[in-house]
Amino acid sequence: MALDIVRADSVGQAAGVLAGDDGARFLAGGTFLVRAITAGDVSIRTVVLSDGLGLDRIALGDPIEIGSAVTMAQVLGEPHLGFLHPVADSIGGPAVRAMATIGGNLFAQSPYGDFAVALLALGASVVSEGADGEASQDLEAFLAEGPPRGRIVRAVRFATPAAGAFRYLKITRKHPHGASVLSIAAVLPVPGGTLAGVRVAYGAMSPRPMRARAVEAALEGRPLDAAAIEAATKVAADGTMPEDDPQASAWYRRAVLPVHLRRLLSGEEG
Provide, rounded to whole angstroms, the least separation between the CB of residue 31 and another protein: 5
Indicate whether 42 belongs to the interface with another protein (CB under 8 A).
yes
Q: What does the chain look like in DSSP terms, one character per residue?
A: ---EEEE-SSHHHHHHHHHH-TTEEEESS-TTHHHHHHTT-TT--EEEE-TTSS-S-EE-SSSEEEETT-BHHHHHT-GGGGGGHHHHHTSSSHHHHHH-BHHHHTTPPTT--HHHHHHHHTT-EEEEEETTEEEEEEHHHHHHH-PPTT-EEEEEEEPPPPTT-EEEEEEESSSSS--EEEEEEEE---TTSS--S-EEEEESSSSS-EE-HHHHHHHTTS-SSHHHHHHHHHTTTTT------SS--HHHHHHHHHHHHHHHHHTS--
Q: Could you give the string, one character per residue 3-22, with x where binding to another protein holds by CB under 8 A and - elsewhere?
A: xxx-----------------
Kindly tell me which of 40 and 61 has the beta carbon lying closer to another protein: 40
Q: What is the distance between the alpha carbons of residues 76 and 54, in angstroms, rounded to a whole number?
A: 19
Indicate whether 34 belongs to the interface with another protein (CB under 8 A).
yes
Provide, rounded to whole angstroms, the least separation between the CB of residue 76 and another protein: 11
Provide, rounded to whole angstroms, the least separation between the CB of residue 166 and another protein: 22
Kindly tell me which of 5 and 255 has the beta carbon lying closer to another protein: 5
Kindly tell me which of 47 and 236 has the beta carbon lying closer to another protein: 47
Contact positions with another protein (CB under 8 A) in 120-179: 176-177
Indicate whether 113 belongs to the interface with another protein (CB under 8 A).
no
Indicate whether 47 belongs to the interface with another protein (CB under 8 A).
yes
Binds another protein (CB under 8 A): choice among 49, 135, 190, 217: 49
Q: What are phi and psi of 46, to 5 degrees?
A: -135, 140
Indicate whether 2 belongs to the interface with another protein (CB under 8 A).
yes
Contact positions with another protein (CB under 8 A) in 67-106: 73, 92-96, 98-99
- The piece of 31-39, 61-69, 210-218, 257-265 that touches another protein (CB under 8 A) is 31-39
- The piece of 33-41, 123-131, 191-199, 223-231 that touches another protein (CB under 8 A) is 33-41
Provide, rounded to whole angstroms, the least separation between the CB of residue 52 and another protein: 11
Per-residue burial over 11-36, b if 16 or more Cβ lie within 10 Å, else e, is beebbbbbbeeeebbbbbbbbbbeee
- The piece of 43-51, 59-67, 109-117, 195-203 that touches another protein (CB under 8 A) is 43-51
How many residues touch another protein under the rule CB under 8 A: the total is 28
Q: What is the distance between the alpha carbons of residues 60 and 81, in angstroms, rounded to a whole number?
A: 9
Kindly tell me which of 1 and 163 has the beta carbon lying closer to another protein: 1
Residues binding another protein (CB under 8 A): 1-5, 27, 30-31, 34-35, 37-40, 42, 47, 49, 51, 73, 92-96, 98-99, 176-177
